[in-house]
């Protein structure tokens, strides 16, 4: 949800639309660099052979996508070399860290071609491919430290939901619309092109998974692999098929509004969330960093970020900013470490009487925080979604050991 809750992440640099493996700079005037500000840009150095003239499912052209052809095709994410296509990254006041039938080739068979504007018969994601994709995401997290930006990706796709609008997809929510240029151009989403480039190889490998499901699968897996709670997820989300189905800009939260408490409630109540869920989701700021040159918030570097992990620099909310725990609540309440970031929307959690009840509880009881966070994250991931089958798809536990879980504590975070 971005700009506010931690959806914020590290964003791409103004001058370079695609982050390179050696430079993960991601600018933005939005707090996108926030909670999920991560070294994720490491991803996705664009496929060198891919045609940079093809737009990412641009509204001007609905290119036919091949998920079965053995010959390499231009990446859906490849961008024009023209810097104009990334002008939207230059100024974003938002702070984010966080229509119609879609086409999914699913069990109808993967050896087929379909147009983004067509309506295939099968819509739900394939359960076995979802399980395999989950394992690939775990490996991606281990090598790129991209936990924060993947969390933000899922939050921002779902966080546009408006409970006052019944029609799908006009109501927004988790429908995969964030893959289109028009929505990527929203200030709150600056830098999320890097997250898309990170997971595009997984989408191409598992073509019978919708973007809406992949975004939420990546987000939940990132939380779990960072040491957070198991999220009770379900899948089978239907994708929108065109950019004309994207929600208008302005549905995601701001970083420093005049009245933080009122602003948080205006945005999250519109989604159907309550005070407890607002505070629990805010706790995800335990992940990531903010960078002043990208979001307008934070310091250029601190003793906790000067050496990474991942790209160095930025200011984190917590010391171990790749570890999911309840330390965020302790740090924003005490405000004794000037090396750690506290935004207006963070501080208000201990100033507003209603928010404070939950913030104090989570500071004292990590188990309660994990329980409430898991429920709130799952609820957020389902907002506005249309499921096929209607009851959704619940994945079984991974049939094989996932391997060594990411250990955030083993990194020095700039300390000796």
Task: Cite the active site residues.
Answer: 156
| Cα distance between residue 48 and residue 40, in whole Å | 19
Give the start-end residues of each E strand in 72-188.
Answer: 113-115
The structure tokens 């230059």 sit at 90
Q: CB under 8 Å to 106, separation ≥6 — which residues?
A: 120, 122, 123, 124, 125, 126, 208
Strand 289-290 to 315-316 pairing: antiparallel
Nearest to 16 by CA among 115, 112, 113, 85: 85
Give the start-end residues of each E strand in 161-303.
Answer: 289-290
Nearest to 279 by CA among 258, 260, 299: 260
- Bond before 23 cis per omega within 30 degrees: no
Q: Measure CA 197 to chain center.
A: 13
| Cα distance between residue 150 and residue 172, in whole Å | 19
User: Please, which residues bridge with residue 315 across strands?
Assistant: 290
| Cα distance between residue 385 and residue 175, in whole Å | 6
């Amino acid at each position: 949800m971005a700009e506010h809750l931690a959806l914020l992440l590290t964003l791409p640099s103004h001058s370079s639309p695609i982050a390179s493996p050696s430079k993960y700079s991601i600018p933005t005037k939005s707090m996108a660099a926030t909670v999920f500000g991560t070294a994720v840009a490491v991803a996705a150095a664009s496929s060198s052979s891919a045609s940079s003239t093809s737009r990412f499912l641009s509204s001007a052209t609905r290119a036919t996508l091949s998920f079965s052809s053995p010959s390499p095709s231009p990446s859906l994410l490849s961008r024009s070399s023209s810097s104009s296509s990334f002008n939207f990254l230059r100024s974003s006041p938002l702070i984010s860290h966080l229509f119609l039938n879609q086409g999914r080739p699913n069990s109808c068979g993967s050896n087929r071609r379909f147009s983004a504007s067509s309506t295939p018969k099968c819509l739900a994601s394939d359960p076995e491919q979802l399980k395999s994709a989950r394992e690939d995401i775990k490996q991606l997290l281990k090598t790129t430290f991209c936990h924060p930006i993947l969390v933000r990706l899922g939050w921002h796709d779902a966080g546009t939901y408006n409970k006052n609008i019944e029609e799908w997809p006009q109501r927004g929510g988790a429908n995969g619309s964030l893959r289109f240029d028009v929505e990527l151009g929203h200030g709150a989403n600056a830098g999320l092109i890097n997250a898309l480039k990170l997971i595009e190889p997984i989408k191409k490998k598992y073509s019978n998974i919708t973007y809406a499901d992949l975004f939420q699968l990546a987000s939940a897996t990132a939380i779990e692999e960072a040491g957070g709670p198991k999220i009770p997820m379900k899948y089978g989300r239907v994708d929108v098929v065109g950019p004309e189905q994207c929600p208008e800009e302005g549905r995601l939260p701001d970083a420093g509004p005049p009245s933080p408490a009122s602003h948080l409630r205006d945005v999250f109540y519109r989604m159907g969330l309550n005070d407890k869920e607002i505070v629990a989701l805010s706790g995800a700021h335990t992940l990531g960093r903010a960078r002043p040159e990208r979001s307008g918030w934070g310091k250029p570097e601190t003793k906790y970020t000067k050496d990474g992990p991942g790209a160095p620099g930025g200011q984190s909310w917590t010391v171990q900013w790749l570890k999911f725990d309840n330390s965020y609540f302790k740090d924003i309440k005490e405000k004794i470490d000037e090396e750690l970031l506290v935004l207006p929307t963070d501080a208000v959690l201990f100033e507003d009487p209603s928010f404070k009840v939950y913030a104090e509880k989570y500071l004292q009881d990590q188990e309660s925080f994990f329980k409430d966070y898991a429920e709130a994250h799952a609820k957020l991931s389902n907002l506005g979604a249309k499921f096929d089958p209607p009851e959704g798809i619940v994945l079984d536990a991974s049939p094989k050991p996932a391997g060594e879980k990411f250990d955030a504590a083993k990194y020095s975070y700039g300390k000796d």
